[in-house]
Each structure stands twice: as structure tokens, then as C-alpha cells.
Amino acid sequence: MPEPVATEPPSATSVRALGGSPWSGTDAAEAHRATHGELEGQHWPVLPELPDRGPGADDVGRSAALLHELPVDLQPHGWRVSPPGVVGSGMDRRRAASFWREDAHRWADTAGAEGVSTERLAVRVRGPLSLLGALWLPGGERVLIDAGARRDVAESYREGLIEALGRLRETTGARRLGVVLDEPWAAAVLAGALPTASGYRTVRSMPRDEARHVWRELFTGLRARGGIEDAWLAPGRAGVGSEDGAPDHAALAALAAEALPDAPPPSETGTTRQPVSLMLPVGALEGPGSTPEEWGVVAGWADAGRRVTLRTAERPATIVRTWDRMGMDPALLRRVTLTVGGRHDAAVLRRLRTDAEELNARVGELLG
């Protein structure tokens, strides 16, 4: 059984920073020291993922290595579910699994060297829709083309991820574990925009009912069996354009809302806490590069009492002004998490932390 995780009272709610993955370069020791040092305490450090270390260190390889009783191997076109009859793990999967073990032990060693315990720790993995889009069948086509294969891989991924989180908790001693489900290809999978092996056609779109079920089953399993009370869903639109008819962020957020598990029972304070935070990229409200539609989604999600994570380069003063212009309750800003896109390093994490602290201070001034 997963260890019970204490819930925080409303008075402890504050803006948090989320960062540490993917990390620039190959210096894993520095990545762990910097992530632990900059985001320990009230923030959410993410177990550093260093793609530059090579095959198996990338997000697809790390996620594929978690599949339960489904061997995978690396081919020129990408990660493949191994042919029937293959027993055990090949070199590629063993390499990816070794990165998980090394990173977990390195995190524990870093915390031990600094004489501190790990309050919070998150891991970043591919969301199930994007993993289904990235994996290939032995016959040379994407897993997405076969409904039975989609079901088997989704179930295997759920089981494997829950098992991996248990090992991570045991190794690191983290009091709270979180999971970032990165779904860069969510829109492409739902729109049928990913190319087949030949490149002349695209794979048929995944039914929305199936996508909703896959997300919901994973959210529910993570909470009920994995002891996870903090998860982030980042549905993206990589690989699609405005002409593809692919779902926009509003449509993706609506589907995510339908997939949310039932809220847990009220705490002793009488409050409930939705464990899934929607992560969206946001820029300015107006002008070049503005994202008014995404801000509208953020407003609706927050108004509904759900948590939001802003992937943004906007400064705290701009975020507060935007929040005010949308007519939002400033108290809801305290439930926001801040993160940034792209590769992370020590300087990025330092800015994330200071931005979260500044946003907290500005909200405190507004609320008196």
C-alpha cells in the first residue's frame, strides 16, 4: 500500500516553482545539486532528466523503459515494442532503466550530503497519448494504428509507472511525490496528424472517448495505488498547425477536465483538493506573441477551483496585472505553480524560485 501523504491546510497555500527537467548538458551531479539547492523546501524540484546523455536518457526512452512486462528496443525510426517471443530487456531498455536508478540514488546522495530530507520531488514522463504516438510496432507502424496495442501499452505504462514511483519513493525518501505528464503530441494524436512509417499518410486519430479514458485511468491509478496527490498534465500542440483542425488548448483543457478523477473526500478543514494541475504555455495578454485564448482557459480552470501551472517567461508584475484585467480573484493566484519551457539550468531555476517568491509577495500585498 502507498504511504499516506499529508495534505496541506489552505493557509499553507502559496505559489510554487516547478523545475529541473529537461536539463542542459550531461553533468548529472551538478543538475542534482542545483535542482535540490534552488527548489528545496516549499517548491517542486523535478528529478533532472539529461537527454544529452544519449539514447535512453530522452523522455521517450525513459518512459518506454517503464512499461510493465512489455520489452522495447531502439530502432533507427525510434523506440519499438519488441517482437513477440522476445524475453527480458535488451541493451537499450537496460540503459534507460539504469538512468532511472542512477538518478534516484544520486538524488538521495545529494540530499544526504546536504543533511536534509526530501520534502517534495516530481518526475517528468511522457503522457500516455504522446507515448502511444511515439512508440512503434514490430511491423513498422505506430502503436496508434492498432486499438488492441494501444490498450495493452496504456495498461502496461500505468502499471510500470506506479511501480517505478514506489521504487523512487523508497530510494529518495521523498515525503510527497508528484508526476508531470508531458503530452506534447496530444493534439496531433487526437487530430490524426502524425505521419505513418512511409510518410505519405497520417495515422488515424484516436477517439476522444478513448483518450479521456486513458487519462482518467492513469490519474485514478496514480492516486489510489501510487500515493500521488500532485500531478501536472501538459497537453501540447506540437506537430500541428492551425490548418490541421487539431484541438486548440481550450479543447484539450475541456477533455482534460472530463478526465479528472473524482475529488478526494473533504479534509478535516472541510476543503477538497483536485490533485491534477493543468499546465499551459502563456505569454502576454495582448501584442505580438500574445496568448489571450490560453489565458481564458487558465481563468476558467481556476474559477472552477482547479489548479493551474503557468509555463511562462512573463514576470510576476505582468502576471498580476493580467490576472486583474481578467477580473480574477487575486486569492486564486496563490494556487498557481510557475514553470518554464525549454532546457533548465541553475540560472533558470533561480529565476523560477525568485519569481514565485515575488508573486507570493505581490498577492500578499493585494490581499492585505
pLDDT in tens, 203-219: 999 999 999 999 999 99
Q: Which residues, including other chains, have CB under 8 Å from residue 349's CB and lie 6 or more apart? A: 17, 19, 20, 34, 35, 38, 39
Nearest Cα to 307, choosing from 334, 340, 268? 334
In a domain, 123, yes or no: yes
Mean pLDDT, to the nearest integer, of 250-270?
Answer: 78
Query: Which residues, 6+ apart, have CB-to-CB distance to 204 below 8 Å?
Result: 144, 145, 192
Specify the pLDDT at position 115. Answer: 87
pLDDT of residue 87: 59
Residues 6+ apart with CB under 8 A from 15: 333, 334, 336, 337, 338, 356, 357, 359, 360, 363
Residue 2: inside a domain: no
Residue 120 forms beta bridges with which residues? Answer: 176
- The answer to whether position 6 is within a domain reads no
Cα dist from 31 to 46, 49, 156, 348, whole Å? 10, 9, 30, 12
Mean pLDDT of 309-323: 97
User: How many domains does the chain contain in total?
Assistant: 1
pLDDT value at residue 9? 41
pLDDT for 276: 94
CA atoms 131, 133, 139, 140: torsion sign: negative
What are the cell numbers at 274? Answer: 483536485
On the 0-12 / 13-18 / 19+ scale of CB atoms within 10 A, 205 is middle
Per-residue confidence (pLDDT) for residue 263, from 0 to 100: 67
Q: Is the pLDDT of residue 52 over 60?
A: yes
Give me the pLDDT at residue 243, please.
Answer: 61
What per-residue confidence (pLDDT) applies to 40?
A: 84
Residue 4: inside a domain, yes or no? no
Q: Is residue 5 part of a domain?
A: no
DSSP class of residue 289 equals: T
The rounded distance, in Å, linking the Cα atoms of 276 and 235 is 12
Which one, of 364, 358, 349, lies nearest residue 31 by Cα? 349
* For range 171-190, the mean pLDDT: 96
Q: Is residue 304 part of a domain?
A: yes
CATH code assigned at 305: 3.20.20
Answer whether 314's CB lies under 8 Å from 339's CB.
no
- Is 3 a domain residue? no
Q: Can you give the pLDDT at residue 1? A: 38
Whether 186 is covered by a domain: the verdict is: yes
What would the mean pLDDT of 272-300 be, rounded to a whole number?
91
DSSP letter, residue 344: B
pLDDT at 251: 96
| 3-state DSSP helix/strand/coil % of the chain, to nearest 5 | 45, 15, 40
Q: State the residue range of the domain holding 18.
A: 12-263+271-367
The DSSP symbol for 138 reads: T
Pick the residue with more confidence: 145 or 88?
Answer: 145
Rounded average pLDDT over 94-100: 95
